[in-house]
Amino acid sequence: MINETYKEMLGKKSVIRELSEYATKRGQEIGYENVFDYSLGNPSVPVPQKFTDVMIDLLKEKSPMELHGYSPSLGITSVREAVAKSLNERFGMDYKFSDIFMTSGAAGAIAHAVRAVTKPGDEVITFAPFFPEYTPYINGTGAKLVVVPADTKSFQINFEKFEEMINPNVKAVLINTPNNPTGIVYSEETIKKLANILKEKSKEYGFNIYLISDEPYREILFAGVEEVYPSKYYDYSISCYSFSKSLSLPGERIGYVAVNPKDPDSTTIATMCGQISRGTGHNCPPSIIQLAVSKVLDMTADLSIYEKNMNLIYNELVDLGFEVVKPGGTFYIFPKALEEDAVAFSKKALKYDLILVPADSFGCPGYFRMAYCIDTEKVERSLAALRRFVENEYR
Amino acid sequence: MINETYKEMLGKKSVIRELSEYATKRGQEIGYENVFDYSLGNPSVPVPQKFTDVMIDLLKEKSPMELHGYSPSLGITSVREAVAKSLNERFGMDYKFSDIFMTSGAAGAIAHAVRAVTKPGDEVITFAPFFPEYTPYINGTGAKLVVVPADTKSFQINFEKFEEMINPNVKAVLINTPNNPTGIVYSEETIKKLANILKEKSKEYGFNIYLISDEPYREILFAGVEEVYPSKYYDYSISCYSFSKSLSLPGERIGYVAVNPKDPDSTTIATMCGQISRGTGHNCPPSIIQLAVSKVLDMTADLSIYEKNMNLIYNELVDLGFEVVKPGGTFYIFPKALEEDAVAFSKKALKYDLILVPADSFGCPGYFRMAYCIDTEKVERSLAALRRFVENEYR
């Protein structure tokens, strides 16, 4: 008997996917270079050449049986060691290899971290606007995603609403900084305040609420923005990482869970992820990708293009009168639409071949997201279209 | 709060893993070449050179953004097309690309197939002896694994017990042929009889019971053994495949779900797997591995060594008076131990540096498994140890 829950999900197409499909179709008509497709968060700069070189070396020089043999289910030990070392050097942490669990991207990391620290029926709080995939990610674990409304002034955390909504059913809080879709980086003040509330509430409820920090955009930080590593501020924390964005490797599905070594259960939790993976069918990421990534842990693709694109778009948006908070990182920007209904706004934009994603599914109606991981030359051409769109439709 | 279910799983170490760890330790003492390690199903022959060549070509020639970009969540379309075509040519089936869902190995395939056709609380029947990982694989979906006792005479299916145990809570039946741990290949007669019972019971219960066929050993077939493709005999069937064994790529985690095109819901089920994967955190297997495997679909590693090893071991076992059914494929053999307690038997074997896995966790106490995916030269040397073991301990 077909599972009705999953069958019903088929009917609900994601807005991002629909728009992206439209962009592809429109591209076939007028040339994709003429479609200003801001729909998808697919990196637009190549992986560092060193990754390619390491992959080729592994294929040429390592014995195929060793190279392609089973990885331990928690990840290859030398890879886990390299990840721990890199995090310790960068953030002054004290991870052991045994606190690290290798995953297939951040999606895999969240799937395992949430299962490790919740049970079905528990609540996981996140903050709007949020990556819409969090809903299936969290609900798929059996826990329930609860969304705190946005603070649309700063897109930091709406603490007033958070304190109203937190309750003893909440076993984990899921944050994403630098943030998709806003591009906002949580300040040290925000993280400290969040950590304090979690400490207080943990004491009050008699158990530790976990902070699950989704950090695929950790390395895409713009000039003058302070790097804040959430796990520095709260012991019961789990970093979920993906190399998709920093190394431009989204198709290779590689990331990790790093459990805070100050949590006395850190190694237990990382080891439990290996048990969880038996049921999710994940087991471990591909051996060759683990090995190759471990050699380029402290490298990134050339991420500077994203800041260049951001500045071009941000200045034009401000000039056109949009209400918008300047991103501190990522390759997203999150302006307020020029009419209440952002879906209608985005539809009108299509006439100008501008693909803008309305933010209803991000839990923040009235706003839209632009993913500017596209060529700068195209960004430049798109600005004229944006101006025409605003002038023709809203002046 | 740490999830107690997964925490408890940590305490239960797998016998196979314990023995394999012992073998590694013992190898450090006396040289691994002197440990007759029959514990692990890790292929011992290299991947075809063509796979390596294709990987290097992809890395050298394809644009990194295209190569490492997001794969569609159901798998890369050209890869799904190639898989369908290969299956159609080999087995006279009529798969469309849309019936195929790319997964991270057979574990990933089973995780998605079972979720697609059951709901939590349903029963999934399998047949002893069975791969012990089926327990966490199935229980992780929320369904419940129910095991039909073995037919120890032939290690085909114990139909008498099966017909006693099938009931309206059973939504799927999971088979594994060629079989781990017995090496037995289900005959056409067995598959036909199984299909007939499923058809009858489906009619009686008013819904289609699904046949989930786990086929990682499909290509490891010995001389004179008939190849039987289960999905030819029953329309409501899902093939779960892994390239781990046929291509010696267990670390690269690549496989697929192929839903029988005669099932009117075939494409719906394959597409649902993409929804399921959002909750399991799997999403899709790595792009580069998908692309490379699609170029070597009809190749295998040199599998002939397994048959050679099997014949050496089988003849010796028979000569030593073991009760054993001759394998038709895989790299496993499943003799009866020489005392009732196979755990005690395996412990005694350690004195002779023979690593034999007692089959209690395979649902068939009193038997043991030998995984003969090791060098033939080592198999030959191990036979003397086996003879000494039997003569010293049991004569």
Which of A139, A287, A289 lies closest to B279 in CB terms? A139
The average pLDDT across B191-210 equals 98
Residue A13, pLDDT above cutoff 80: no
Q: CA B242 to CA B45: how far, in whole Å?
A: 16
- Nearest 10 degrees: Cα torsion A244, A249, A250, A255: -50
For residues B273-283, average pLDDT: 91
Question: Does A52 contact chain B (CB < 8 Å)?
Answer: yes
For residue A100, give the 3-state DSSP assignment: strand
Provide ipTM, 2 decimals.
0.95
B233-249 confidence digits (pLDDT tens): 999 999 999 999 999 99
Question: Is residue A283 over pLDDT 80?
Answer: no
Long-range contact pairs involving A381-388 (C-beta distance under 8 Å, separation at least 24) = A381/A36, A382/A36, A382/A38, A382/A354, A383/A312, A383/A313, A383/A316, A385/A36, A385/A352, A385/A353, A385/A354, A386/A36, A386/A316, A386/A317, A386/A320, A386/A352, A386/A354, A387/A316, A387/A320, A388/A352
CA B293 from chain centre, in angstroms, equals: 19
Query: Which chain A residues have a beta carbon less than 8 Å from that of B253?
Result: 283-286
Alpha-carbon span A330 to A218, nearest angstrom: 8
Contact A67 B251 (CB under 8 A): yes
Residue B12 banded pLDDT, cuts 50, 70, 90? confident
HSE-up (13 A, CA, CB side) for residue A359 = 28
Q: Which pLDDT tens digit goes with each residue over A92-135?
A: 999 999 999 999 999 999 999 999 999 999 999 999 999 999 99
Is any Cβ of chain B less than 8 angstroms from the Cβ of A363?
no
A55 vs B6, B59, B248: nearest CB: B59
Contact by Cβ (8 Å): B353, B347: no
Residue A308 pLDDT exceeds 80: yes
Q: Count CB atoms within 10 A of the CB of residue A128.
A: 21
CA angle A191, A193, A199 (to 5 degrees): 100
% residues pLDDT > 70 (chain B) = 100
Mutation target for A interface from B3, B20, B98, B268: give the one with most A CBs within 10 A.
B3
* Contact state of B2 with A43 under an 8 Å Cβ cutoff: no
Angle subtended by helix axes A376-394 and A342-350, to nearest 10: 110
Q: What is the pLDDT of residues A59-102, one digit of tens each?
A: 999 999 999 998 888 999 999 999 999 999 999 999 999 999 99
Residue range A349-360: average pLDDT?
Answer: 96
Instruction: Show residues of chain A in contact with B118, CB under 8 Å.
Output: 1, 3
Indicate yes or no: CB of B2 within 8 angstroms of CB of A272: yes
Q: How far is B1 from chain A (nearest CA, A)?
A: 5
List the beta bridge partners of residue A367. Answer: A336
Is residue B9 less than 8 Å (CB to CB) from chain A? yes
Rounded to two decimals, the pTM is 0.96
Chain A contact for B167, CB < 8 A? no
Contact A185, A156 (CB under 8 A): no
**pLDDT given for residue A282 in this prediction:** 82
According to DSSP, the residues that pair with B148 across neighbouring strands are: B127
The tens digit of pLDDT for each residue in B20-76 reads 889 989 999 999 999 999 998 889 999 999 999 999 999 999 999 999 998 888 999
Chain B residue closest to A9 (CA)? B275
| pLDDT score for B91 | 98
Distances (CA, A) of A225 to A181, A222, A377, B61: 17, 6, 25, 37
Report whether A175 contacts A210 (CB < 8 A): no
Nearest to B259 by CA among B77, B96, B90, B73: B96
Say if residue A64 is preceded by a cis peptide, omega within 30 of 0.
no
Q: What are phi and psi of A220, to 5 degrees?
A: -95, 80
Rg, chain B, Cα only? 21
The tens digit of pLDDT for each residue in B81-96 reads 999 999 999 999 999 9
Contact A105, A262 (CB under 8 A): no
Measured between CB atoms, does B149 come within 8 Å of chain A? Answer: no
